[in-house]
Structure 1
C-alpha cells in the first residue's frame, strides 16, 4: 500500500496464487522472494512516500505490517525532517531574509502542487492542507501532521538583490507513535491516614507525550475520576471492590491497566 492524496492505494497484491498490480505502475513493478519483496524500477521523485507491506500468516491468521519510507532524490539531497502524527513539522533553510518571493511545492497524485506562496506581502495557501499551515520569513510549519503528509517538499526562493533563484528540498517523514506497553498501577498508603490511598500509573520511561485518564467502575457504573497529565491520584471513600483503570493515551494509541481496589487501601 502507498499513501497518496491522503488515502492508501493498493500497489500490488498476491493472494491464492494470483498477483495484481496497480495499473499506473504496472510496467515498473516486480516481485520476487515468494512475493514478499517488491521492486520499483525507473524511480521518479513522486514515488517518494510511505510504503506498507501487509502479510497474512496462514498457520495462525496473524497479520503483520512492515513500513518503508522511500526517498527518491534528484539533484542535492533533501534535508531529513522526522516528526510524529499530530505534531508540527518546521521546514526552514539557514539563510538571510532578503528575498522577493518564496514558494513551497510537493507531490500529490504524481503531480507537483503549490503548497504555499509568499509574494510582495501576500500569502496563498493550498486548501489541500485544510488550514494546517503557518509561514513566516523563509519557514513553513505544518501542524496536526498526518501520515500522508510524508514526502518531498521543495522551497523556491527568489532573492531581491540579483534575482537569483535557489531551491531547497526537505524529506518529511511522519511516523506513528509506537504502541504503549501495558502500564502498571501501584498502590501506597498515605503516611498520615490509612483511609487515603495513592495510585501511581507507570509506563516505560522512553514513552513521551502521554496523557493519563483515571476512571473507576462500581457495580457496572463507570465514573471519570481524573483526566489530565497526572500519573498519580489520591483516593478516599471508594466502595470495597471498585475497579480502577488508568487509560494512557498518546496521539496514536490507547493502553489500559486495571486494579481491583479493596477499601481501605491494601486491605
Structure 2
C-alpha cells in the first residue's frame, strides 16, 4: 500500500494534545477559497516553483534522463538556484510508520503522538487505516468530515482524537465557498458524537466569510455543548499559490 504525503512536521504544538508529528496527506475533495495548504489539494504529486525568482535560464526545460522527472516535462534537478521542488512523496506503510515512530518515547512522556492532516486524509483512507494500526502511540485526525460514511466511521474507529472542521453552517454558502454541500459533513458529525471518540470542532475565521455573526451563531447552534474552538485567519495563506501556478481568490482579504 502506497500513500502520497506532501509534508511531515515534527514537534508541532497546535495539532492535538502534546507535542506531535503531523503528517500531511495529498488530496482534498473541498476547494476552500482560503485554503492555506493548496499543495494538498491535488491527489497526485506536483511541482512547486518559485517563479518570482526564476531567471528563465531554460536549464530545467532541457531533456534529461531522470525517470522521476518524466511526469513533469522538465528536469526537477536542473535549477541552479534550487527553485523547483516536488510536492507529494510516495511512502509505503512500513516506511512511513518507522519515520513517524522515531519520537515515540518522547510522545509517551509528554502526552503527544501523531496527527494525520492534509489535504484530507480520508481521501487515502485505506493507507491511513493501515498506517494508524502500525503506530503504537496516540493518533489524531484533522478532517473536513467530507467523506463516505463507511470510510469516516472506519477511520474514526482507529483514532484517539478527532479535530473536525465546521466552516459554514448555511448549505448554499458552504457550496459557494468550499465547492461542496455540507450535508455529508453534518451527518458524519452526528456519528462522531455517538462514537465515543474524543473530538474538537474547529472553525477557521475567514474575514467576511466564516467570521460573520450570522455564521458563528448558526455554528454555535450546531455545536451545542460540544468542544469548539475558532482558528485565526492566516494572512500569509496565499504565498504558496503562485508556486503552483494558482490564483489566490482572497489575496486582498485583511485579517
Is TM-score (shorter-chain normalized) higher than 0.5?
no
| Structure holding more strand per residue | 1
Larger-gyration structure (1/2): 1
| Structure holding more helix per residue | 2
